[in-house]
């Protein structure tokens, strides 16, 4: 079934009508675009999973406006959580609480926790205020594909399949929110993002980073799934000489290779086809998904080179890069998120 997909920066009343009718609406956030539906409705939440082709064991984040009463949704609010909310919200931090079970059970895929996010984006806030409901929303990409940071990216994946995209321009953060488990005595990062471990520890003293042990069912099901994958051949190297050899091999085979690398390496490869991620962790986060989507359109083979930059937002950037290129922590995963 196809329909007209409207792209608008102001159609909040229309968005509300669609949400109340059980439809799915895409909206800008400062991290990536989201694909939202009424979190209280089983049928609406089911539509999100069906549209994305998302595995039914990968839970969704609920989005609320800044004055929405969080205690309507969560069962227990650990004392340190308030400090974190004051320091980082609205913003790119999602907190996982014990759930009160008020939203559709499909949102958390049967887990007794609920992930809640208060986005900073003006577009997202206006939308959430207009509907005044918790909105369940994953990133607005087809399962496995690269996350969207423009309305055009959302159209590329869902044009004709959803009625409306609330356009807020480019998502400047560029990678998904930090997912933080606050159900224990010490907060634990389940997915790295722009709010870093150091930033969290500086507010509450301590912060862990969760890594599932081999064979263990991960706490955040999404981290076990392949993700952010460009739709062309990909290779990943930490060694620049090996990357260059791969580039030349692709040319010999009559292909069109592109290198994706940090700014210093891009300068080194001056004259070749290069997609420049930039210099800082924040810059690389902000450019990463747009460049992966550009790369898959232009290149027959996209060759990633491990950035050498460390610290801050780089943990999140490296995690996304590894998974996009199937390297290290993302190797040989067959499922999707
Ligand atoms: O920045 C973002 O977080 C974007 C925008 C749209 O808000 N959303 C996003 O959603 O990235 P999604 O569905 O692509 O990723 C949600 C992540 C997944 O890794 C999922 O496993 C985890 O959050 N998650 C959701 N609910 C959870 C829960 N109750 N416990 C543990 N992890 C949870
Ligand atoms: Mg996603």
Cα(269) to centroid(ligand 2), Å: 32
pLDDT confidence tier of residue 222, bands split at 50, 70 and 90? low
Candidate from 176, 184, 289 with most ligand 1 atoms within 8 A of CB, to mutate: 176
Question: What pLDDT sits at residue 216?
Answer: 72
What is d(CA 131, CA 134) in angstroms, rounded to the nearest whole number? 8
Q: Which ligand is nearest to the CA of 146?
A: 2
For residue 15 and ligand 1, the question of a CB distance below 6 A is answered with: no
pLDDT confidence tier of residue 335, bands split at 50, 70 and 90? very low
Cα(260) to centroid(ligand 2), Å: 21
pLDDT confidence tier of residue 32, bands split at 50, 70 and 90? very high
Is residue 87 over pLDDT 50? yes
Average pLDDT of the chain? 94
Give one word for 163, left, alpha or beta, with left for phi > 0 and alpha for psi -120 to 50. Answer: alpha
Q: Tokens in use for 49? A: 């999973």
What is d(CA 183, CA 77) in angstroms, rounded to the nearest whole number? 8
Candidate from 94, 105, 107 with most ligand 1 atoms within 8 A of CB, to mutate: 94
pLDDT confidence tier of residue 330, bands split at 50, 70 and 90? very low
Cα(53) to centroid(ligand 2), Å: 12
From the list 325, 323, 305, the residue with the least C-alpha distance to 246 is: 305
β-bridge mates for residue 259, sequence order: 274, 303
Question: What pLDDT sits at residue 273?
Answer: 98
Q: Which residues contact 202 (CB under 8 A, 6 or more apart)?
A: none
Is residue 92 over pLDDT 90? yes
Atom of ligand 1 nearest to the CA of 221: 21
Displacement of CA 284 from its chain's centroid (Å) = 14
Is residue 95 over pLDDT 80? yes
Question: What pLDDT sits at residue 149?
Answer: 98
> Percent of the chain at pLDDT above 70?
94
Question: What pLDDT sits at residue 333?
Answer: 35
Q: What is the pTM of this model?
A: 0.95
**What string of DSSP letters covers 19-69?**
HHTT--EEE--SSS-EEEEETT-HHHHHHHHHHHT--TTS--EEE--TTS-
Q: What is the DSSP letter of 275?
A: E
Is residue 182 over pLDDT 90? yes
Could you give the angle at which helices 79-88 and 197-204 cross, rounded to 10 degrees?
A: 120
Cα(78) to centroid(ligand 2), Å: 27
Is residue 169 over pLDDT 90? yes
Residue nearest to atom 13 of ligand 1 (CA): 138
Question: What pLDDT sits at residue 177?
Answer: 98
323 three-state secondary structure:
helix
For residue 177 and ligand 1, the question of a CB distance below 6 A is answered with: yes
Q: Tokens in use for 6? A: 């409207």
pLDDT confidence tier of residue 337, bands split at 50, 70 and 90? very low
Q: Which ligand is nearest to the CA of 31?
A: 1
Q: Kindly report the CATH number that applies to the domain delimited by 6-209.
A: 3.90.870.10
Q: Kindly report the CATH number that applies to the domain delimited by 233-325.
A: 3.40.50.11030
Cα(236) to centroid(ligand 1), Å: 26
Q: Which residues contact 25 (CB under 8 A, 6 or more apart)?
A: 15, 18, 19, 35, 36, 37, 127, 162, 163, 164, 165, 166
What is d(CA 261, CA 308) in angstroms, rounded to the nearest whole number? 10
Locate the domains of the chain by residue range.
6-209, 233-325
Question: What pLDDT sits at residue 327?
Answer: 79
Residues 101-150 pLDDT 10s: 999 999 999 999 999 999 999 999 999 999 999 999 999 999 999 999 99
Question: What pLDDT sits at residue 212?
Answer: 76
Is residue 334 over pLDDT 60? no
Residues 241-275 pLDDT 10s: 999 999 999 999 999 999 999 999 999 999 999 99
pLDDT confidence tier of residue 165, bands split at 50, 70 and 90? very high
For residue 137 and ligand 1, the question of a CB distance below 6 A is answered with: yes
Cα(272) to centroid(ligand 2), Å: 31
For residue 191 and ligand 1, the question of a CB distance below 6 A is answered with: yes
Question: What pLDDT sits at residue 99?
Answer: 98
What is d(CA 145, CA 51) in angstroms, rounded to the nearest whole number? 13
Is residue 45 over pLDDT 70? yes
Question: What pLDDT sits at residue 225?
Answer: 63
Is residue 299 over pLDDT 50? yes
């Amino acid at each position: 079934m196809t329909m007209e997909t409207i792209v608008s920066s102001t159609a909040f009343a229309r968005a509300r009508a669609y949400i109340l009718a059980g439809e799915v609406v895409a909206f800008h956030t400062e991290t990536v675009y989201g694909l939202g539906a009424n979190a209280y409705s089983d049928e609406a939440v089911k539509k999100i999973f069906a549209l994305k082709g998302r595995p039914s064991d990968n839970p969704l984040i609920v989005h609320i406006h800044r004055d929405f009463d969080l205690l309507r949704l969560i069962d227990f609010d650990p004392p340190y959580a308030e400090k974190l909310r004051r320091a980082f919200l609205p913003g790119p931090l999602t907190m996982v609480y014990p759930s009160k079970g008020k939203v559709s059970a499909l949102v958390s895929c049967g887990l007794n926790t609920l992930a809640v996010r208060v986005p900073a984006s003006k577009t997202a806030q206006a939308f959430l205020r207009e509907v005044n409901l918790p909105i369940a929303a994953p990133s607005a990409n087809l399962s496995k594909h690269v996350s969207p940071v423009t309305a055009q990216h959302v159209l590329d994946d869902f044009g004709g399949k959803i009625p409306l995209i609330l356009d807020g321009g480019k998502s400047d953060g560029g990678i998904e929110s930090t997912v933080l488990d606050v159900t224990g005595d010490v907060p634990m990062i389940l997915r790295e993002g722009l709010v870093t471990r150091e930033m969290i520890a500086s507010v509450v003293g301590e912060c862990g980073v969760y890594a599932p042990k081999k064979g263990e069912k991960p706490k955040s099901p999404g981290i076990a799934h392949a993700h952010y994958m460009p739709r062309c051949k990909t290779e990943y190297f930490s060694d620049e000489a090996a990357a260059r050899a791969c580039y030349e091999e692709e040319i010999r085979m009559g292909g069109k290779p592109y290198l994706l690398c940090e700014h210093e390496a891009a300068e080194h490869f001056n004259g070749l086809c290069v997609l420049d991620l930039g210099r800082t962790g924040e810059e690389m986060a902000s450019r990463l998904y747009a460049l992966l989507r550009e790369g898959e359109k232009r290149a027959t083979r996209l060759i990633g080179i491990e950035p050498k930059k460390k610290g801050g937002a780089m943990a999140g950037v490296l995690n996304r890069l590894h998974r996009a290129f199937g390297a290290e922590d993302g190797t040989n995963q067959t499922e999707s998120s």
